[in-house]
Structure 1
Amino acid sequence: MDEPLPIDTGTSALGQVPVAAEDPVARVLIDHPVPHLARAFDYAVPEKFADTARPGVRVRVKFAGKLRDGFLLERVESSDHIGPLATIERITSPVAVLTPELLRLGTATARRYAGTLSDVLRLAIPPRHARAEKAVLKAEKTREQNASSSSAPTDSGNASTASENSTTAADNETATAEDTVGRLGEWVLRHSPSDQAEDFPAAEHPRIALTCVPGPTPGLSWITAGLAAARATLAAGESVLWLVPDHRELAVLSAALDASADIDSHSVLSADQSPEQRWNAWLRGLLGHTRITIGTRAAAFAPVADLGLIICFDDSNSNYLDQHAPYPHAREVCLLRSTIETTGLLFVSTDRSAEIQRLVEVGWLRDSTPTGPERREGAPRVFVPDEERDPFAWQRIPSRAWQLMRGALRPGTKDTNAVGPVLVQVPRAGYYPVFACARCQEVARCPNCSATLTTQSEVGPFACRSCGFHSETFSCGRCRSNQVRSIVRGRGRTVEELRKAMPGIEILESGGDDIPVAIDDTARIVVATTGAEPYALGGYACAILLDSLWPGPWMRSTDEGISRRLRAAVLVRSRTAGGVVYLGDTDEAIRSTVTTFDPVTSMSRALGDRRELGFPPYRRIVELTGPGTGIDAVLAEVPELTELIRDSDGDDQKAVAAYPIAAGDAVGESLAHLIASRSAKKLPQVRIRIDDPRSL
C-alpha cells in the first residue's frame, strides 16, 4: 500500500523556534568556496528577526554543522523543503549591503566569467568592520535628524562635523601622502579649465573613449578630462565612480579632488587601506554620504547612490585583472554596470586597448580622441636612432640622446621651457638582469635549473630567481671563464653609467618598493623601470626610453610595449613647451605609434588582422587547466568551444579554446554548471579563466 503524501502544515523551524508571521522563509546565499555549495538555501526566519531580516543583510547560519556567513536574498511565504527548517542564527549587521543593483551586477559578472555569485560578492563587498560601521551609521542618523529638524543652521553644523569625521577616518591614508602630491593637486587645479564641463552631455549618459596627449598638463591630462566629465555629472545631480589602476594614480587623483574648490568630498576605496578605512568608505558610498568615489580594481563594484558616470583610466593596465576567482577584469565589470544601471561611461587612457577599439568600431562607444593637428601640437617631439646619419646610433645611449639630456639639464640654455627633469626609462631592474660569459659569449645559466642568472655587479654575487641558487663567484659552464659581460643592462647599471658621464647631476631611482608618487620641476635625472615613472610637476623636459621593450611571447606583446612607452612619453611636455623624447625601440609598430602619438590608428590596423583570424577581441577565449580527461569532458559538453592550443605541464594540462561573443552568457552558464557538477561528483577540478590577456 502506498504511503500517503505528507500534508503541508506550514513553515516550521528546528527546535520549535517561533517563526515570523509574514514571509517566514529566507533564501540565504551561503558564502562557501566549494562551487556546488555556493548557492541559496532555505532557512526559517525566527520571530525575533522578523523586522531586521531584510533582503541584502549579512546573516550567520548553520551549514553542515558549522556557522557560515551568508546574504539574505529574499523572503518568501513557503519552501519546497519538506520538514522543519534550520533557523537564521544571527543578523550580522542591520545594513542591507547587497543592494538589488549589486546583486544584478554580481550575477551578470558570475555568468560572464563562469564563476559563482559567492566568489564575486567576496570581491565586491569588503569585510565588515564594526567600529567603522558604527561611525557611519551615527553620521547617517544625524543626517536624517537634520533633514526633519526645524533648527537647520545648528543641526547642519553637527551633520557637517560628523561627515568630516567620517571622511577623515576613510581618507586618512591619503592625508599622510607626500607633500609633493598635495602641491601637484594644487597645480592640477590651476591648470584645469573649468569650462570644459559644458562639453560633456551628462544628462544623455554618453559612452566615450578618449586617448590623451600631454597638452598643458603633462601626464595628468586624464585628470583634466575626467574632472570635466565629473563636474558635468555632479551639476546634473548624479554621482561619479572613478577607477584607477594602482595606489600612485589614486594618490594623485585624490590630491587633485581635494584641491578642487567645486568638489565637496570624495571617498577612497583601495586594497591598501585598513579594514576600517575601507569599510567606512564603502558604507559612505552606499548611504549617499559622498558624490564621488575613487578607487582601484575592486571599486568597480562599489555602491554609489544616484550613479551617473563611471570613469576608467588606463583600462589596459594589468592591475585591473583580478587574480581571485572568477578572475574578472574591472573594464568588463564597468561595461556590465553601465548597461545594468544605465550610466555614462568614460574610458580615458594614454593608449588604446583592443577591447575598447572594437567597441568604438561597432558604435557602442564614441571616440573623442583629439584630431591630428591638435594631437601633434600637444605631444612632445620624438626622435629615433638614425643609423645613416649618426655613426654612434648603435650605442645603448647614442650621442643624440646625450645631447638631449644635457640640453634639458643645462641651466644656461636659451630655451627655458626645455630645462627640467629628465626621465630615463629602462625595461628591467637590477645590474645585469641577463649576462653572458665574456670569453665564449654563452648566456650564464643556473647549474641547478638552467634558468638565466642575474647579478648586482660585475664581480657578483650571482643568483637565480627561479630556484634560489646563490654563488659569490661565476664559472662558465662551457669554457670555465670567470669574466662576465652584459647582454641586458638593468636600472642599477644604467645609474652607474649616468653618474660617470654626468658628475654633479642629481640622479633619482624609481622602481621596486621605492617608487616616488611625484617630483618637483628641479632639473635632475630620474631612472625608472617601466610602470614606475613618477609624475613631474610641469612635466619632464626630456625622456630617454632605452633598449628595446619586448614584454614577452604572447599575442598582445606589441600592444603592451606600445602602452608602456606611451605612458612614459605622455609625462613629457608638449613640443610647444620644448618637450623631447628619444625612443630606443627597434620595433616598427612601437616606433610608428609613439612618433605619431596615434595609438588609435595603430590599434585599428592591428584589429584588421585579428578580425580575419578570429582572434580576441572578436572571439572570447577560455583557458582550461587541469587533468586532460577533465578538459576533454568540459570541451565535449560545451559545443560552442573550439580548442586552439594545448600544453602539458606534468600531470596537468592547459588548453585554450575560443567561442563567439554572442554565445558568451550561454557558455558562461554551461561552464559554471559543469564545474559545480564535477565538484558535487568529487571529480578532479578544471580551473577556468575567461579572457585572460596572457592565454594566447
Structure 2
Amino acid sequence: MDEPLPIDTGTSAEGQVPLAPTDPVARVLIDHPVPHLARTFDYAVPEKLAEAALPGVRVRVKFAGKLRDGYLLERVESSDHIGPLATIQRISGPVQVLSEDLLALCEAVARRYGGTLADVLRLAIPPRHARGEKAVLKAEKAGKSADPAAAETENPVTGPDDGPADDPQLLNRLGEWVLTAGEEPTSDERAAQPRRRALACTPGPTPGLSWIRAGLDAARATLESGRSVLWLVPDHRELAVLHSTLTHAGIAEVSVLSADQSPELRWQAWLRGLLGHTKITIGTRAAAFAPVADLGLIICTDDANLNFLDQHAPYPHAREVCLLRSTIEDTELFFVSTDRSAEVQRLVEIGWLADVTPVGPARRHAAPVVFVPDEERDPFAWQRIPSRAWQIMRTALRPRPRDGGVPGPVLVQVPRSGYYPVFACARCQEVARCPQCQATLTTQSEVGPFACRSCGYHSETFSCQRCRSNQVRSIVRGRARTVEELARALPDIEIVESGGDHISTALDETPRLVVATTGAEPYVLGGYAAAILLDSLWPGPWMRSIDESVARRLRAASLVRSRDDGGAVYLGDEDELIRQTLTAFDPTTFMSRQLSDRKVLGFPPYRRILELTGAGADIDEMIGEIGEVEELLREDAEDGQRSVSAYPFSAGDRVGTRVAEIIASRSAKKQPQVRVRIDDPRSL
C-alpha cells in the first residue's frame, strides 16, 4: 500500500504577505461577546509588524469578515491550521498591556467564576485612549512620572460629571486631621505585623476614618521597603478622602483609578501603574486588576460592601480578586473594615488570615457608648424619636458647661426610600404580624416579599389577619418627614440632608443635625458628637440579612466619637443580635457565632454557590452535566426558574471550568443560554 503524500503545513499568509522571519504565528485571543468564539486563534505576523507584535499588545484582526480587537498572547514557530493564515491588520498601541501576572490573574478569575477570559479582560483592562496614552509615553520618554495636563480640567478622583463637587478645602482639613490625630506606630510595630491580616477597627481618635490610619501605617512599611501598594475602597467618597490624606501625608506618585473617571484619565492612571510611575494606586473595584509594578501590599477596605460585586459577567467580587492576586503575586494582604464579613472571618478561623483586631477595654474605650430603648423605664420608648434620643441629641448639640462636653454634629440615620421595616394593612391599619410567631413583618416594597426576622417566615403575598386585605402601607416615616419633625422640635438648629441625588462626602464640625439615609452618612471633621439610629434596617429575606444589618449600624456608629471623647449612639433596633453587637462594638464575635451555624448546615462561606437562571429543562441539563453540585432550592423567576446549588471548595476550579465549557458548547449549538452567577452574596 502506497504511503500518503506528505502535506506541506508550512506557515503562509493570505495574499502571500511576507511574514516575520522568526515566530511568524501569533496566537490571538479574540475579544468577542459570544462565549464559544471568545478564544484563541492563529494569525500570521506580517514582516512589517515583526518588531511591534509582542506578547501582551492589543491587535486588530479580521474575524468573520469584520475587524475585531484582540490580545496577542504568544508568538510561535508554526500553526496546526492547514492553509494560509489571516494576518494581523495592525497593532493598537505599542504598550504590552497584558503582562504575565495579569494574564494569570484573569485566567484564575475566569476559572473561579465560570466565565470566559475575554470577559474578565474586559473588566481588567480599560478601553484604550490614544491621546492619554501619548501623554503618558511622552512623559516616560522625558523621564517624568506623570503628565498633569489632563488633570487640570477634571477632578482626578470623580471625573468631570460625578454629581456635586466636594469642598476641596474641607477635604484637605479632613486629610490633615487623620494624620495629626493619634500616635504614630514605631517601625518595630510595623515590621511585626503578619503578612496577611484582618482588622475590625473602632472610631478611636479619627471617627469614621480609622481605616485610613490603619491602612496608612501598613502602606508606609511597604513603601519604606521599596515596594508598591494597591488600595481598594467601596466608592468615590472614600476615594476622595483617602486621596486627600495621602496627598497631605507627602506620599508622592499616587495614582487614582475609578470607573467614574473619564476614559482619558482612567487610561492614563492605568498606564502609569503599568510603567511603574506610581508607588501607590488607589481606586474602587475597577482597580482590583490594576497593574502595579513590584506590588508588595493589597489593602481592601470594607470588603463586605456590595459595591465590590461587579455587575458585568462573570460577576467577580473584588475581595476574591484580591485573594487570588495576593496568592499569585505573593504579596501582603490587609482587610480593614468597621464590620467583619463572613468570608474574611472564615479565613481568620482557618488561619489563613491573622486577626489584628483590638479586644477588651482598648476596644470599648475607642468606641462610643450605645444606648438601647428601655420600655420598662421609659414610657415614651415606643415613639418615633423617644425621649432618651431627644436627650442625647440636645446634650450633643448644646452640652452643659458642667458636663465638659464638646458640641458637635448629630447624625440621624433613617431607612432607604421604599423600604418598609414596619408596615400595616392599608384597609384596617392593623400592624402586619407574622402568622407563626406574631413578630412584626418586614418588606422591601408594597408587593413583597414579606418576611419575619424572628422565625424566618417568608411569603410572596400578604393577607391581613384581621380583615384579609392584601394591600399594605408603610407606617415608618422617611427622611423628609423626619426632617419636618426635627425642624419643629429644634427650630434654631441647622439641618443638613444627605441621600438620594444629594449625598455629601464631608462636613465640618459645626453643631447641626445631619439626616442621612443608610450608606449616605457624610464624614465629619472630628466625628459626630452623637448618632440617632432610627428604625430597623433589615435589608430583606435572605441569609445574610442580619450580617448586612449589623454592618450598616456599625458603619454609622463608627462615625461617632469614642466614649472617652463623649460620643453616644441611640440604637432603635429591636433585634437582640444587633443590640449585643453594637453595645459591645464586637463584630468578630458576632460573625464567629454566625459561622458556627452555617458550618453545620453547609452554607456559604463553607461551600460555594452556583446560581442558574433560565428555563427549568435547561437548568436540569446543566446541573446533570456539571455533576458535582447539590441543588438547594428552585423557585420561579421572571425569566423562567432560579436554581441555587452548592459545591465544595475542593471542586472550585473544576466546576468553574466545566460551567464555562458547557456555556460555550450551548452557544455553539445555538441552545438557549442559562445565566450563571457563582458565589453571589444574595443567592441565598
Assess same fold via TM > 0.5.
Answer: yes
Mapping of 1:230-629 within 5 angstroms?
A: 230-261=219-250, 263-410=251-398, 412-429=400-417, 440-441=428-429, 452=446, 487-629=475-617
Matched, 1:194 2:184: yes
Shift of 1:649: 2.7
Q: d(CA) in 1 for partners of 2:602 and 2:425?
A: 44
* Corresponding residue number in structure 1 for 2:83: 83
Shift of 1:434: 8.1
SS of 1:488's partner is coil
Q: Percent identity?
A: 72
SS of 1:414's partner is helix
What do the CA deviations read for 1:439-478 (whole angstroms, capped 9, x no partner)? Answer: 721799xxxxx96299xxxxxxxxxxxxxxxxxxxxxx99
SS of 2:487's partner is helix
Give the gaps of 5 or more residues in structure 1.
144-158, 445-449, 455-476
Shift of 1:412: 4.5
* Corresponding residue number in structure 1 for 2:64: 64
Mapping of 1:19-168 within 5 angstroms?
A: 19-143=19-143, 159=144, 163-165=147-149
- Contact 2:166 2:504 (8 Å CA) reproduced: no
- Contact 2:613 2:639 (8 Å CA) reproduced: no
Q: Which residue type is aligned with residue 446 of structure 2? A: T
* Corresponding residue number in structure 2 for 1:172: 156
What do the CA deviations read for 1:350-382 (whole angstroms, capped 9, x no partner)? Answer: 000000000000000000001211100100000
Q: Which residue type is aligned with residue 312 of structure 2? A: H
What do the CA deviations read for 1:154-207 (whole angstroms, capped 9, x no partner)? Answer: xxxxx37x55557767863469642311211121122254335542338x8700
* Corresponding residue number in structure 1 for 2:15: 15
Q: d(CA) in 2 for partners of 1:393 and 1:638?
A: 55
- Contact 2:411 2:531 (8 Å CA) reproduced: yes
SS of 1:636's partner is helix
Shift of 1:662: 1.0
- Contact 2:341 2:591 (8 Å CA) reproduced: yes
The 1:318/1:573 distance shift into structure 2, 3 A limit, reads: same
SS of 1:256's partner is helix
Shift of 1:418: 4.2
Q: Which residue type is aligned with residue 626 of structure 2? A: V
Q: d(CA) in 1 for partners of 2:593 and 2:190?
A: 29
The 1:478/1:615 distance shift into structure 2, 3 A limit, reads: closer
- Contact 1:573 1:579 (8 Å CA) reproduced: yes
Shift of 1:7: 2.2
The 1:99/1:189 distance shift into structure 2, 3 A limit, reads: same
- Contact 1:42 1:79 (8 Å CA) reproduced: yes
Q: Which residue type is aligned with residue 325 of structure 2? A: R
* Corresponding residue number in structure 2 for 1:447: none
Q: 1:183 aligns with which of 173, 176, 185?
A: 173
The 1:435/1:365 distance shift into structure 2, 3 A limit, reads: closer
What do the CA deviations read for 1:242-264 (whole angstroms, capped 9, x no partner)? Answer: 00000000001001011112x11
- Contact 1:197 1:228 (8 Å CA) reproduced: no
Q: Which residue type is aligned with residue 65 of structure 2? A: G
SS of 2:402's partner is coil
Give the gaps of 5 or more residues in structure 2.
160-164, 433-443, 449-466
SS of 1:428's partner is coil
The 1:168/1:76 distance shift into structure 2, 3 A limit, reads: farther
Q: d(CA) in 2 for partners of 1:78 and 1:72?
A: 15
- Contact 2:421 2:538 (8 Å CA) reproduced: no
* Corresponding residue number in structure 1 for 2:438: none
SS of 1:7's partner is coil
- Contact 2:632 2:645 (8 Å CA) reproduced: yes
Q: Which residue type is aligned with residue 44 of structure 2? A: A
RMSD between aligned alpha carbons? 2.5
The 1:178/1:651 distance shift into structure 2, 3 A limit, reads: closer
- Contact 1:433 1:489 (8 Å CA) reproduced: no
Q: d(CA) in 2 for partners of 1:433 and 1:370?
A: 33
SS of 1:674's partner is helix
- Contact 1:435 1:453 (8 Å CA) reproduced: no
What do the CA deviations read for 1:129-176 (whole angstroms, capped 9, x no partner)? Answer: 011100100111112xxxxxxxxxxxxxxx37x555577678634696
The 1:268/1:383 distance shift into structure 2, 3 A limit, reads: same
Q: Which residue type is aligned with residue 674 of structure 2? A: V
Q: d(CA) in 2 for partners of 1:394 and 1:35?
A: 57
Q: Which residue type is aligned with residue 483 of structure 2? A: V
* Corresponding residue number in structure 2 for 1:465: none
Q: d(CA) in 1 for partners of 2:337 and 2:423?
A: 36
SS of 2:475's partner is strand
Shift of 1:628: 1.0
Q: Which residue type is aligned with residue 242 of structure 1? A: W
The size of the alignment, in residue pairs, is 649
* Corresponding residue number in structure 2 for 1:149: none
Higher mean C-alpha displacement, 264-273 vs 533-542: 264-273
Shift of 1:221: 0.3
* Corresponding residue number in structure 1 for 2:623: 635
